[in-house]
Structure 1
Amino acid sequence: MNHPAPVSSTITAEIDTATLTLLEQASERRGISPAEFAAQAIRRAAESDADFDAFIQVGIDAIERGDVVPHDQVMAELDTMIERHRARCST
C-alpha cells in the first residue's frame, strides 16, 4: 500500500551556543521562530547545493558530447588577450 509523503519532517541538530544566539537574533529580526528560520536556511542551502550540482552537470554533459575547447587553444586565446591588454596599458 502506498502512503503519501509527509508534509513535513523534524530534524534534530546540535549547534553551539554562539550559533544558537545568532539563530535566535536572526529569527527575532524577521519575526519568525528559530525553527522557521532554520527550516528556511536549510532549504536555501539545499537549493543552492542542487543548483551547483546542476551547473556541474552542464559541464559533464558538454564533456560527454565532446563539446569542449582544447586546453592549448584556450591558453593561446588567453595569451592573445593578455598581450592586447598589455599593449593598451603601455601606450
Structure 2
Amino acid sequence: MSVRVADEVTQQLDALAQATGRKRSFLVLQAINDYLEREAWQVQEIQAGLAEADAGEFASNAEVASVFARFGA
C-alpha cells in the first residue's frame, strides 16, 4: 500500500520519529491503528444509540432539563 502525503506531513513525521527514536513507518502504523480504533468505537456508539432510539428509549423532559441546568444552558 502506498499513501501520498504533503511534504509538511512528511517533515512532521520525520521530526517526531527523530524525537522519539521510532521509525516513520511505526508512527504511521500507530496513527492508522489509533484512527481505526476511534472510528470503530464511534460507529459502535452510534449504532447502539440508534438501537435505543428504535426501542423507544429516550430521556424524559425532566432528565434533559436537569442536564441543561447542570451545565448552565
TM-score (norm 1): 0.64
- Segments of structure 1 that go 5 or more residues without pairing to the other structure are 1-10, 86-91
| Amino acid in the other structure paired with 1:63 | A
Name the counterpart of 2:34.
44
Deviating 4+ runs (over 6 angstroms) = none
CA RMSD of aligned residues (A): 2.5
In structure 2, which of residues 8, 24, 34 is the aligned counterpart of residue 18 of structure 1?
8
For 1:35 and 1:81, the matched residues in 2 are separated by 48
- Segments of structure 2 that go 5 or more residues without pairing to the other structure are none
| Amino acid in the other structure paired with 1:35 | S
Percent identity, aligned pairs only? 16
Name the counterpart of 1:35.
25
Name the counterpart of 2:48.
58
TM-score (norm 2): 0.78
Higher-Rg structure is: 1
